[in-house]
Each structure stands twice: as C-alpha cells, then as structure tokens.
Chains A and B, each alone.
Chain A
Amino acid sequence: MSMLGLYVPGDSAVYRIPVGAKLLGLFGAVTAVIVVGHPWTAAAAALGCALLYPLCGLPPRYAWRTLRPVLPFLALIALFQAFTGDWQVALRVCAQLAVAVLLSGLVTLTTRVSEMLALFERLARPLRFVGVRPERVALVLALTVRAIPMVASAWRASREAYLARGLRGRPHLMVVPVIVGLVRSAEAMGEAMTARGVD
C-alpha cells in the first residue's frame, strides 16, 4: 500500500487481535526462535512466517516486500558466517533475522498507526511523574512516521530541480536545498498543528 509498509486494510482474525497482544506475540515468537537456536527449526519458522501473510489475508508479495530490503544484509551475514564459522550458523542467524523481520512486518501491516500510538501513550503514562506528557510522546512518534514521505518528497523535488537545470554529479549540492525545504515544511506543519489545536 505504501512505501512505509504501513497498515493494509483487512478483516482477517489477526486484525482483531489487540496491538498489545500482537507485540507480545512478536516478542515471544522471536525470543523462542533465538532460544531454541536450531538452524532447521529457525528456517522452518521463517518459512512459516512467510506463509502467515496469505493466511492473514495479505497477498504474498507483502512478505517479499518486507524481506527484500534486508536481503543484502542477510546475504552478507550468511557469507561471513559461512567463511568464518559453518553453514549451520549462517542458516540459523539468517533465519532468525528473517523471522523477526517478517513478523514485525506482519504486525505493522495489520495494525493502524493510531492503535500503535494509543498503546505507546498508555505505556508512557508512568513517565508523567517525571514531567513527560504521554500524548506528546505518541504525537512525536506519529510525526516521525509522517515525516518519512515528507523527506522523500523534498529529496525528489530537489533532485528534479537539480536535473532540470542540467546539473550532473556532485549530489552533495542537493543537501542544502533539501534541508531548507524540510525546515520550511516543518515550520508550516508546526503552524498547522497550532491552528488545528494539536499542540
């Protein structure tokens, strides 16, 4: 649905599980795979996690999209472990990482950001006693998520302007306009938040 791997609407059972339970499940499953520490068990778990996607109503391409960005790192780790240790260690480590990534992706894709933020807000409540406002913590996290496409958009705009002027090479020249654009966007967003009473 988006380049952020955010929520994909659906109505399977996993969507109805409370976010706290999902995160506990994620933590439990990853811990179990690490504690068991058996290469074939970890590999089977990774395969099982990939199969969970269609079972949860998500097209299999989402499993691929989730795993794809970390594949180069997994390949490097596998090569390093295979040369310095043995192939079983390589398989175990890579499979464990794949389990963690696939399950985290599944939680993200089936949970609204607002639900996640509500949980963080609840978890941050005890910090009130040291002067932290939990709703602010949640808002900061939401803005962080929101800022990702904003940064991408600023970079794209700057790059297009750079290429349109016939400039080539020296990509560092785009850094300053990107930062200036982002500062302006941040100021405008701050003003909009104040106007909307979200401050």
Chain B
Amino acid sequence: MLQLENVTHAYDGRTVLHDVSADLTERRIGVIGANGSGKSTLARMLNGLLVPDSGRVLLDGRDTRRYAKEIRRRVGFVFADPGTQIIMPTVGEDVEIGLRGSGLSRIEIEERVERILRRHGLDGHRDHPAHLLSGGQKQMLALASVLVTEPEILVCDEPTTLLDLRNVTMIQRTLRTLPQQIVLLTHHLDTLGDFDRVLVMDEGRIVFDGVPDVAVAHYTQLMRRRLDDPPREEPPEPVGGEPAP
C-alpha cells in the first residue's frame, strides 16, 4: 500500500505540496487538478523520483528515501511526453532495456518483449525506429516499456495529454484492462468514470477525496469559482504545465 504522511515539498522557495496525507489502497485512483496544483510532484513522490522535504512516502511501510531503487522497480511511471521516455533507438530495444540486469535469460527476455509488444499492438514494429512512431504508438511503447518489468503499481502522469481522441480512447482501454493498481493523473475527466476514488488537488493540497462523479463536480465548481474570482496573485506557472523537479 502506498501512503503519504504529512508530505511537504517546495521548489525554489515555492511550496508545491502542503502537508499532504493519504493512504492509497484502492485499485483505480484518479488525481485531478489545475496545472501547477502539485499533481505531478505528488506522482513523482510515489515512485521515489522525488523525496519530500518533510513527511514520508511509504510503500508497504518502506520509505522512498531509503528504498528508492526497490520502490522504482515496484512502482512503474508513465510520463506525459513519451518522446522523452524512449531511451533506445528501436521499439524492441527500448522495451528490452528495462529488463537489463533482471536476471532473466536471453530467451525469457525475448519472449517477454514479444508478448508485451503483441499485447500493445506493437508486434509489427519491433525493429522500427522508435522516434518514427505516431504519438499514440509512442505512448503505447512507453506504457509497454514500463509494463514489461511487471510493476505492482502504475503511476501515469497525464499519459493522454498529447494524444488525439482515438489514441486517448486506446490508452484508456488499455489502462482499464491492466491488473495493476493504477494512480492516474489526468485532465480527461471522462476517463475516471469507473475509478474507485478520485483526489482533487488545488494549490498543493488534497481538497477533495471521494467517488469520481462527486470529485469531478467538486473540481468543476472549483475551477468555475477560480474563473469568476481569480486570486490576486497567481503563482508563477512554468512553461509546459507542472513545475520541473
């Protein structure tokens, strides 16, 4: 189980998470909020990419501060921009690299790569240059590259943001079929309909935590209020959305 205990974090003096606590026990958890609300920072905490300035993030009682490497193996992370997640020149090689040092034999690695590529509709692209794939295929590759290591939990940071409707639907369908626990950050609110729980974030705090339809309604109201009555001093918004870690 993932747990956040009084997590606070700041970038360059700007606090982006304020004393956040939550036990993430449900199988499908959505996180929604405006750009700069702290969603991406929270997600990076879950996989040990970032450690909090104060408070703790735990996976089955193990602190990300101490067990970061193990936690990263158990918690897969999918980024918004698959282009930067692809490391190797070809599709097959990119999926394969996650299995380096896994102790699997060459044959087992080959089988696992074949299987995951087939499952994600990339079986004909194994030797294809990864940078020449379409946006949707790149995101499927990014997903496959993470899933090939068989993580227990998958954290997806707006994986559909850069995609068209067809590809959004494809990623949504794929996520729906995965057996892993999923923490999904998204601006596509319709994705969350069948989720078990949705957290609404605002200015570094969880301001609502509940079932999807009520959470989405709460978030919509919150954004309307913001538009009608904008705060006098907006925090600086980094180009491209979430603040860079």
**Chain A residues engaging chain B, CB cutoff 8 angstroms:** 1-2, 4, 6-9, 112-114, 135, 142-143, 145-146, 149-150, 153, 184-185, 187-189, 191-198
Contacts and interface: CB of A to CB of B under 8 A. Distances in A.
A192 B84 contact: yes
A112 B127 CA distance: 8
Given A114-B92, A184-B244, 6 more contacts: A1-B129, A6-B129, A142-B87, A153-B83, A153-B131, A192-B77
B127 A188 contact: no
A149 B83 CA distance: 11
Interface of B: 47, 49, 69, 72-73, 76-77, 79, 81, 83-90, 92-93, 96-98, 100-101, 126-129, 131-132, 145-146, 149, 244-245
A7 B98 contact: no
Nearest to B96: A114
A2 B131 CA distance: 9
A114 to B, nearest CB: 5
B50 to A, nearest CB: 9
Contact of B129 (A143, A149, A150, A196): A149
A113 B93 contact: yes
A188 B81 CA distance: 9
Nearest to A188: B84
A185 to B, nearest CB: 6
Contacts of A188: 79, 81, 84
A161 to B, nearest CB: 13
B226 to A, nearest CB: 28
User: Which among B81, B87, B100 has the highest number of chain A CB atoms within 10 Å?
Assistant: B87
23 contacts: A6-B90, A6-B129, A112-B127, A113-B90, A114-B90, A114-B92, A143-B87, A146-B131, A150-B131, A153-B131, A184-B244, A185-B83, A189-B87, A192-B84, A192-B85, A192-B87, A194-B49, A195-B77, A195-B79, A196-B77, A196-B85, A196-B87, A197-B73
Contact of A198 (B77, B84, B87): B87
Given A112-B90, A146-B86, A146-B87, A198 B49 contact: no
Contact of B98 (A9, A142, A191, A197): A197
Contact of A146 (B81, B89, B101, B145): B89
A135 B129 contact: no
A158 to B, nearest CB: 14
Given A113-B88, A114-B93, A189-B84, A2 B132 contact: yes
B85 A4 contact: no
Contact of B47 (A143, A153, A195): A195
B96 to A, nearest CB: 7
